[in-house]
Amino acid sequence: MAAVTTSTERSLNKLAIVGVLIITMIFLAPIYWIASTAFKPRNLATTIPPTVVFQPEISPFVKLFTKRSQLRTAPTPEQYAAAPWWERLVFDGGEKVVRSGRGEVQWSGYPSRFMNSLIVAITSTVLAVGMGTFTAYGFSRFKVKGEQDLLFFILSTRMLPPVVVAIPMFLMYRVVGLNDTHWGLIILYTAFNLSFSVWLMKGFMDEIPKEYEEAALVDGYTRMEAFFKIVLPEAATGIAATAVFCFITAWNEYAFALIMTNRRAQTAPPFIPSQVGSGLPDWTVIAAGTFLFLLPVAIFTFLLRNHLLRGMSFGAIRK
């Protein structure tokens, strides 16, 4: 009987491993598709069946960072030889790099949009996590009248999809002059992430024993000193986990960025789909922009992976 049970357990373990591998492949397939398309020649991006084996090239990234136009006449051998190596890659694709009257290369708007995404996502994450930590500490350590109602009200701000309030927010922002500004998006993303930050940090704060602070207060610490020197270090894993989720939400947000911004504060998500080639969408350029856009989130999550794994099991709210 024991041998049969052991054999069954091994079979179930093997099935579980196979299931995990299949699910992992399903989730990684779009990432592989984007990464491979970012290094494909344009004529291989939409072939049927898909081209799996190809000679990788970096021309999509060159096109992503430069303004281009249709090449009406082929460059002369002298022009082709005098052009920089990266500009020859654009020539090979039937396009040319747009230059000013003084011969200066006209760069695309992707670098500025990418920087806007960094500014907005980092600032809103810091604000949301910071305010959420203080708010969660207050709910966790002090008796607040109507605490459950207040927590539910905070949570209710996430019950509506962002697109529902996008038009009213656009009209209000136009009146106060926050349209197409960094602070306009930062305020929106902070407000949108604050409820998530409060609820998640509330669970982490509840897990930290109050006796730590009481001992610090007996030793002469003030309440703020006990918070910064005792509570915050203990809540580091929760803060890291909350920061990752808030950063990902702000980094990937599309609806508000599309409606509330135009040029100055526009972030990368609404800009990337606008990258078109000569006549038809250049999917290799779109994939290159998407591939670069994935890197900051991947790096940020990788750096905080230890805190994130521990934080996911640390902050459960108990009744």
pLDDT digits (tens, 9 = 90+) for 163-179: 788 888 889 999 999 99
The DSSP code sequence of 16-28 is HHHHHHHHHHHHH
Q: In angstroms, rounded to a whole number, what is the distance separating the alpha carbons of residues 311 and 241? A: 6
Top pLDDT among 176 and 1 is at 176
State which H helix or E strand residue 178 sits in.
Answer: none
For 281, the 3-state DSSP assignment is strand
Give the number of other Cβ atoms within 10 Å of residue 177's Cβ. 9
Nearest 5°: phi and psi at 110? -65, -45
List, as one string, the DSSP characters of 37-106.
HTTS-GGGTT-SSPP-S----SHHHHHHHB-EEE--SPPPHHHHHHS-HHHHHHHHTTEEE-B-TTS-B-
User: Can you give the pTM of this predicted structure?
Assistant: 0.83
pLDDT of residue 1: 52
How many Cβ atoms are within 10 Å of 180's Cβ, its own excluded?
16
pLDDT for the residue 212? 85
Distances (CA, A) of 215 to 104, 204, 220, 230, 292: 66, 20, 9, 10, 49
Model confidence at 319: pLDDT above 50 = no
Please give the average per-residue pLDDT across 229-238, as a whole number: 87
Dihedral sign computed on CA atoms, order 98, 104, 106, 110: positive
- Let me know: does 86 contact 240? Beta carbons within 8 Å: no
Distance from C-alpha of 133 to C-alpha of 205, rounded to nearest angstrom: 8
What's the token pair of residue 17? 């491993």
Residue type, 278: S
Report d(CA 267, CA 262) in Å as an integer: 9
Residues 6+ positions from 194 with CB-CB distance below 8 Å: 128, 131, 132, 135, 154, 157
Res 311: pLDDT: 53
Which helix (H) or strand (E) segment is 280 a member of? none
> Residue 5: its pLDDT value, please?
64
CATH homologous superfamily of 111-313 equals MetI-like (1.10.3720.10)
Q: Token pair 């800009």 is at which residue?
A: 271
Beta strands 68-70; 95-97: pairing state: antiparallel
* Mean pLDDT taken over the chain: 84
**Closest of 119, 116, 111 to residue 264, by C-alpha:** 116
Per-residue pLDDT tens for 11-48?
888 888 999 999 999 988 889 999 999 998 888 888 88
Q: What is the pLDDT of residues 84-142, one digit of tens each?
A: 778 888 887 778 888 877 778 888 889 999 999 999 999 999 999 999 999 999 888 88
Beta partners for residue 105, in sequence order: 99
Torsion of CA 139, 311, 132, 128, to 10 degrees: -170
Does the pLDDT value for residue 291 go beyond 90? Answer: yes
